[in-house]
Structure 1
Amino acid sequence: MKIDAFRTLDAVVRGGSFAAAAQAMHLTPSAVSMQMKQLERYLGRPLFDRSGQQVRATPAALELVGTMQPALDALQTLRHRTPTRVAGHLKIGMIELLQPLLLPPAITHTRRFYPGLQIALRRGTSMELTEAVRAGQLDAALVARPASGAPSGLEWTPLVRCELVFIAPPNGEPGRGVASSAARERARLPELMRSLDWIRYNRATTTGAMATRFVRGMVPQKRSLMELDSAAAIVAMVHAGLGFSVLQVLNRALFAQYPVRVIPLGKDGPHFDICAVRRSGDVNDRLHQAWTEALRAALAEARLAMQPAAPLITAAFP
């Protein structure tokens, strides 16, 4: 049983819900639920009463937290007291849209706590980087996990759930806020798609393929004006009035630089999980644990930096 499961249990008990634990641990609620079920199977007893609208910790869960917490605290103190023992190289892949947001704080964390850990970075699409991990060319990668068809033999650690959004030129109904008119705007999406050209995000990527399926589901015969693999270029094109797009934009500064109409697609819209992926045999390796810790610290910093923005990133940091 992984130590992280006991930490997650403590977060559930402290926060009172799987959602609160997901935010505290920088996981998706589904990942929290999976860890708790694995822990229950490991112990052979229920840890939660699920009969009501919210789960409630059983006495067994409280006893387990009380037993494990001193050891977990002592272990955490020991890890940070001896950072130089983590030394080595990791070849890491990271999709480009995440690099400005997560790479600086992650490297800052490793320099502070694990100065002996050296990171070599490679960029690419989620599919390319996942295949590189599976083939042993990379030690780990931060990618968008496909909804189906994920390669076997790999360990996927969900970190955050992201939603794709519809963006359109800023002209037209400029005074209406996204929150108050989102449902009405979504009802007009087929009309908007027919009246505007489509600036497509690279369909060879996981998120680009999802966006293509969404658009074609609304307007089956729609063709794109052009296809780009840069979110910044697409937002700039839409800002200039050249068309619409469906994509994920993590760098909210783009919307300040190139104002556009942002229409959330709702709970049934396309979404994906950002995951750390690595080969199953490497899951408990000390270097990988240090890098995952750095990623979670980076996600916490990103959450604080993005809270004033529209809620386009959910679950791990809503």
Structure 2
Amino acid sequence: MKMQLLATLSAVVQQGSFAQAAEQVNLTPSAVSLQMKQLEQYFGQPLFDRSARNARPTAFAIELAAVVERSLAELESMRHASDTAPAGNVRLGITESAMTTLLPQAFAQLQRNAPGIALQIDRGTTPDLLQSLKAGRVDAALVVRPLSGGSSRLLWTPLLREQFVLVVPAGMAPGTAKQILSNSPWIRLHRSVVAGQMAARYVNQLLPQRQPLVDVPGIDAIVAMVAAGLGVSVLPRIRYQLRDAYGVREIPLGRGAPVRQICMVRRGADAGMRNLDAVEQAFVASAGM
């Protein structure tokens, strides 16, 4: 029998329904129901009275959940009593922008504080990485929080807030963002990434029906195109190394500028895992530097 089944039982007893428990343990209600049936087969007796609209736990289920809670509390106490540094493999999904802004300093932090942790890096876009996280292909991910706010079943830790700017060639004449976007070709960050969706929404609100010159999936490539005089682009504020290397200029967008939030995201069921906590702490420290 898997410990996960007992943890799910505890969640059902605490929350009072399969649906609410499903949110807590990051499963579907049907998966929770299946696990409870597996437990009933294991113990050879019903755990819930299913005659009512909401399945009510039996006295045995309540007693069993209490045993589970005590056992988990003791295990948690033993975990915190350990003075060994966290170790093991962590599969980390990360967006391209976070690889250059956050990863180097965070990796250095991990080397100092938790050298036993081995990172396995998987690069991707926010939508792809969130799917990989939910499917268990990665343990955590560095992503842009979606415009919808993202799934409440996941644990979101904010790291950076990045305001969008208008990136123009260094020698372009002064003007407002609206004037420049009206008179210059617009190089659009591809809308397959969250930042591209945010930039497109801003431009379309400013200039309805504005059509792009081209869609480009990478910020570095767009900056190079802007530097070559091919157009302008609305992008998250770019790192100074890239700005200085290409000699482009950033124009603030004012109070209406979109802001993207870079977060570390984990599955709710993985809360309290020491190796993931260590990775998260390293990225939080990196974001504060």
TM-score, structure 2 as length reference: 0.68
Instruction: Show the counterpart of 1:107.
Output: 107
Shift in Å at residue 101 of structure 1? 2.1
> 1:164, 1:247 within 8 Å by CA — same for their partners in 2?
yes
Q: Contact conserved, 1:102 with 1:298, CA < 8 A, in 2?
A: yes
Output the amino acid matched with 2:85.
R
Whether the aligned pair in 1 keeps the contact of 2:236 and 2:260 (CA below 8 Å) is no
> What CA distance in whole angstroms lies between the structure 2 residues aligned with 1:119 and 1:139?
10
Give the alignment's Cα RMSD to 1 decimal: 1.9
Question: Which stretches of structure 1, 4 residues or more, deviate above 6 A after TM superposition?
Answer: none
Q: Mean Cα displacement is larger for which, 202-211 or 262-271?
A: 262-271
1:54-133 matches, within 5 Å, as: 82=83, 84-133=84-133
1:147 counterpart residue number: 147
Decide whether the 8 Å contact of 2:155 with 2:268 is kept in 1: yes
TM alignment of 1:158-237, pairs within 5 A: 158-173=158-173, 185=175, 188-237=176-225
Q: Which amino acid aligns with 2:222?
A: I
For 1:204 and 1:225, the matched residues in 2 are separated by 17
2:97 counterpart letter in structure 1:
L
Is the 2:162–2:237 contact (alpha carbons within 8 Å) kept by the matching residues of 1?
A: no
3-state DSSP of counterpart to 2:202: helix
Question: Cα distance 1:222–1:97, how it changes in 2: closer, same or farther (>3 A)?
Answer: same
Contact 1:154 1:279 in 2 (8 A): yes
Post-superposition CA distance 1:278-300 (Å, at most 9, x none): 10111211111100111122223
1:279 to 261, 267, 272: 267
Partner of 1:254: 242
Count matched residues: 209
Contact 2:92/2:139 (CA < 8 Å) preserved in 1?
yes
The Cα of 1:149 is off from its aligned counterpart by: 5.2
Once the two structures are aligned, what percentage of the paired residues are identical?
Answer: 39
Q: How far apart are residue 88 of structure 1 and its match?
A: 1.1
Equivalent pair of 2:177/2:251 in contact (CA under 8 Å): no
- 1:164 counterpart letter in structure 2: F
For the residues of structure 2 that align with 1:85 and 1:153, how far apart are their CA atoms? 28
Q: Larger Cα Rg: Structure 1 or Structure 2?
A: 2
2: CA distance between counterparts of 1:201 and 1:300? 27
Contact 1:98 1:250 in 2 (8 A): no
Runs of at least 5 residues in structure 2 that lack an aligned partner in the other structure: 1-79
Distance in 2, matches of 1:282 and 1:192, equals: 47
Question: What is the Cα deviation at residue 115 of structure 1?
Answer: 1.4
Partner amino acid, structure 1, of 2:251:
I
Structure 1 gap segments, 5+ residues each? 1-78, 175-184, 302-318
| Matches of 1:98 and 1:213, distance apart in 2 | 22
Deviations for 1:216-238, whole angstroms, at most 9, x for unmatched residues? Answer: 11122221111112211111111
**Letter of the structure 2 residue corresponding to residue 130 of structure 1:** L
2:254 and 2:134 map into 1 onto residues whose CA distance is 34
Does the CA-based 8 Å contact 1:106-1:298 persist in structure 2?
Answer: yes
Describe the shift of the 1:250–1:244 C-alpha distance in structure 2 as closer, same or farther (beyond 3 A): closer
Could you list the per-position Cα deviations for residues 69-100 of structure 1 after superposition, in whole angstroms to 9, with x for gaps in the alignment?
xxxxxxxxxx9x94x53111111011001112
Q: Is the 8 A contact 1:97 1:250 kept in 2?
A: no
Structure 1 contact 101–250 (Cα < 8 Å) conserved? no
Equivalent-residue separation in structure 2 for 1:140 and 1:131 (angstroms): 11
CA spacing shift, 1:250–1:193, aligned 2, 3 Å: closer
Q: CA deviation at 1:251?
A: 2.1
Q: Which amino acid aligns with 2:230?
A: L
TM-score, normalised to structure 1, is 0.62
Aligned to 2:278: 290
